[in-house]
């Protein structure tokens, strides 16, 4: 398939059948009781053999901990190997027949204002993903960070939250948000090997529909996750209907193949969003957010020609919110950071964006769009927050 050919296949959210509910539970039980304990025993063996000793301990204490891990794994391995095999089979069968998009309803009533003066939307790559990815990006494992992320989100209470790299299997963030009054789409585009898009969408407002679009063109390790474009249509308290899109595009910086892949993905995404906007006349506006893995955008809202070879005329209707609040001679503040001598350094690299599409007769008024540096080391990204003024 040519990179220039967009793919628009989709998976629509519907209420899960009893069979799909049972399949989801089978996958969960297989993971918790068999697969995860088996993998943990193998990790103990790996650590006990000296491949990954704990840091920060003296030689004697470190050797003692390694001996403990080794002894635990030797005792567990005879059961761990068949448990891992059984768990893998159960998880495969469960995810094969489970629901492809799961909506977790709010466990308590949403705490949004009855008629808010502004709509607050946030996009955040939370990096709640596989441990080896966390090691490569110099951040703690997901299990050590998810609770701090949940607490900060529930303290800020954005009305709509777009999350990337959120694997439900790695952290119970969806449940924490549901307990906090959010309707949460999770396990988006789940496939039979247990992989998913990593996209999660949480809303304090009622959800009318959810749909995932396979846009294709992913390369390398990005193919492992079923990434794409997720759409949710929401109903605001004043009766307005809005569409929100969450995405995570091809990584790889300025590698020519990655640039070409992202260009095709951007074209596919904007084509879908504009078509859906034209077809649904009830939509007041649409917001497209997420990790574009694109550092520069033009004033028109599309990727700049210096970084992405994407025709600008196809992106003209979109407004890049962050560019409304920066000096035109300066780069926007960065949402991605690196470690430099154990210090968090921002380089103005901004892969995360929020783009707006509204009717010509009812343009949106942006109250603010800002980078939330106060989220610190919770991820290798920090959130981008947008507030839109609503009519009274």
Distance separating alpha carbons of residues 125 and 147, to the nearest angstrom: 15
Distance separating alpha carbons of residues 268 and 282, to the nearest angstrom: 23
Q: Which of 126, 130, 140 is nearest to 290 (CA)?
A: 126
DSSP label at residue 300: T
How many CA atoms lie within 13 Å of 143's alpha carbon, on the beta-carbon side? Answer: 5
Strand partners, 369: 386
Q: Are 182 and 203 in contact (CB under 8 A)?
A: yes
- Domains of the chain: residue spans and CATH: 18-97 (no CATH), 100-389 (3.60.10.10)
Going across the sheet that includes 207-214, the strands are 9-12, 207-214, 229-235, 241-248, 283-291, 352-358, 319-320
User: Which residue is it, tokens 């059961």?
Assistant: 79
DSSP label at residue 289: E
Task: Kindly state the tokens that stand for 193.
Answer: 């090997």
Q: Which of 230, 193, 228 is nearest to 209 (CA)?
A: 230
The region, left, alpha or beta by phi > 0 then psi within -120 to 50, assigned to residue 138 is left
pLDDT tens for the 392 residues of the chain, in order: 344 455 567 888 888 889 988 998 898 888 888 887 887 777 767 666 654 544 444 555 566 767 777 787 778 778 888 888 898 888 888 888 888 888 998 887 765 556 788 999 999 999 998 776 776 677 888 888 999 999 999 999 999 999 999 986 767 899 999 999 999 999 898 877 667 899 999 999 999 999 999 998 999 888 878 899 999 999 998 889 999 999 999 987 777 888 888 888 888 998 999 999 999 999 999 999 999 987 554 444 444 433 333 433 345 578 878 767 655 445 556 787 765 545 556 555 678 889 999 987 777 889 998 889 899 888 989 999 999 998 76
């Amino acid at each position: 398939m040519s990179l220039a050919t967009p793919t628009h296949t989709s998976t629509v959210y519907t209420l899960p059948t009893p069979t799909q509910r049972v399949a989801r539970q089978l996958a969960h039980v297989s993971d918790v009781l068999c697969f995860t304990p088996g993998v943990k025993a193998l990790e103990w063996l790996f650590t006990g053999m000296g491949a990954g000793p704990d840091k920060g301990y003296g030689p004697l204490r470190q050797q003692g901990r390694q001996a403990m891990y080794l002894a635990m794994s030797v005792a567990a391995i005879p059961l761990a190997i068949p448990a891992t095999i059984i768990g893998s089979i159960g998880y495969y069968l469960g995810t094969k027949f489970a629901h492809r998009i799961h909506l977790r309803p709010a466990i308590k009533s949403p705490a949004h204002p009855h008629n808010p003066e502004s709509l607050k939307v946030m996009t955040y790559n939370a990096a709640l993903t596989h441990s080896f990815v966390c090691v490569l990006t110099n951040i703690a494992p997901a299990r050590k960070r998810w609770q701090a992320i949940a607490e900060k989100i529930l303290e800020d209470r954005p009305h709509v939250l777009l999350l990337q790299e959120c694997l439900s299997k790695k952290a119970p963030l969806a449940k924490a948000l549901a307990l906090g009054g959010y309707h949460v789409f999770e396990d988006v585009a789940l496939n039979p090997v247990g992989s998913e898009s990593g996209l999660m969408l949480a809303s304090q407002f009622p959800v009318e529909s959810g749909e995932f679009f396979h846009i294709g063109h992913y390369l390398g390790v990005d193919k492992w996750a079923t990434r794409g474009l997720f759409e949710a249509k929401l109903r605001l308290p004043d009766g307005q209907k809005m569409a929100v899109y969450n995405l995570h595009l091809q990584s790889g910086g300025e590698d020519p193949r990655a640039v070409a892949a992202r260009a095709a993905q951007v074209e596919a995404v904007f084509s879908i969003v504009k078509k859906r906007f034209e077809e649904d006349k009830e939509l007041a506006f649409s917001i497209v957010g997420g990790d574009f893995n694109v550092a520069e955008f033009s004033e028109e809202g599309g990727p700049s020609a210096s970084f992405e070879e994407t025709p600008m005329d196809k992106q003209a209707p979109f407004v890049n919110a962050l560019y409304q609040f920066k000096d035109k001679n300066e780069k926007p503040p960065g949402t991605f950071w690196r470690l430099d001598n154990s210090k968090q350094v921002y380089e103005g690299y901004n892969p995360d964006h929020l783009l707006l599409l509204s009717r010509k007769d009812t343009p949106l008024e942006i109250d603010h769009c800002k980078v939330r540096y106060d989220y610190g080391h919770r991820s290798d990204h920090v959130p981008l927050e947008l507030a839109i003024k609503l009519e009274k």
